[in-house]
Amino acid sequence: MRIAINLLFFLLAAGLAYVLAGTIREPIAFEEEKSKREKVVVDKLIKIRKAQEYYRAITGEYAPNFDTLQQVLASGVFTITKVEGDPDDPTGGKVIYTEIEKSSKDSLASIGFTYDDLASIPYSDGKTFNIQADTTTYQNTLVHVVEVSTKRVDFMGPFADPKFAKYDNTYDPNSILKFGNMNTPNTSGNWE
């Protein structure tokens, strides 16, 4: 009988130790996974922002969708203005402006920039970023604006549950990770 009671207490202690270890392990796993996933998604948003900047250098506006963005980056032309002389020279020296056109595909390849698979959200099983581009009036001027976003719930996988907010008071799986703003000419990310 005494052995049975000792065995029962041992099993109870082992069970409590397992539960205690789980309560310690879960917040650590959540924080590690959240940091890892957010970093990968932010890196992808930064890449999309660069792609939009290249697109704007070619067309003068932002791409309204990923198909157009990739098509123009693959077939567009960058126009580079070469300036010979000093345009600020007060003596009125000769200044020559020469425009040179370079293939965007070759230019982007030379700096190692790839523009394939920009639309897909990492860790999302095929979901895509929301993309918007338009013009708006800002300080009495018509300006081009862009916004690319995703909700955390799209890429957090098993941690996309509001219950994990108990480990991070600022965590909301329905909050948005984005760059740009449809109301102002701003391409900053909300992670910066």
Please report which confidence band the pLDDT of residue 23 belongs to, taking 50, 70 and 90 as the band edges.
low
pTM of whole model > 0.85? no
Residue 153 CA: distances (Å) to CA of 30, 51, 126, 186: 14, 25, 13, 25
Please report which confidence band the pLDDT of residue 38 belongs to, taking 50, 70 and 90 as the band edges.
very high
Q: Can you tell me the distance from the alpha carbon of 16 to that of 20, in angstroms, rounded to the nearest whole number?
A: 6
Q: Are 98 and 82 in contact (CB under 8 A)?
A: yes
Q: What is the dihedral of CA 162, 164, 170, 171, to 10 degrees?
A: -60
Rounded mean pLDDT, 112-134: 92
Residue 92: is its pLDDT beyond 70? yes
Q: Give residue-wise pLDDT tens across range 56-84.
A: 999 999 999 999 999 999 999 988 888 88
Please report which confidence band the pLDDT of residue 87 belongs to, taking 50, 70 and 90 as the band edges.
confident
Q: Are 66 and 119 in contact (CB under 8 A)?
A: yes
Q: Can you tell me the distance from the alpha carbon of 81 to that of 43, in angstroms, rounded to the nearest whole number?
A: 31
Report the amino acid identity of residue 174: N
Please report which confidence band the pLDDT of residue 100 belongs to, taking 50, 70 and 90 as the band edges.
confident
Rounded mean pLDDT, 43-54: 95
Q: Are 83 and 97 in contact (CB under 8 A)?
A: yes
Residue 121 is given by DSSP the state P
Please report which confidence band the pLDDT of residue 22 belongs to, taking 50, 70 and 90 as the band edges.
low
Residue 11: is its pLDDT beyond 80? no
Rounded mean pLDDT, 177-183: 95
H helix intervals, the chain: 2-59, 66-75, 104-110
Where are the chain's structural domains? 2-63+118-180
Q: How many CA atoms lie within 13 A of 9 on its CB side?
A: 6
Q: Are 32 and 126 in contact (CB under 8 A)?
A: no
Residue 166 is given by DSSP the state G
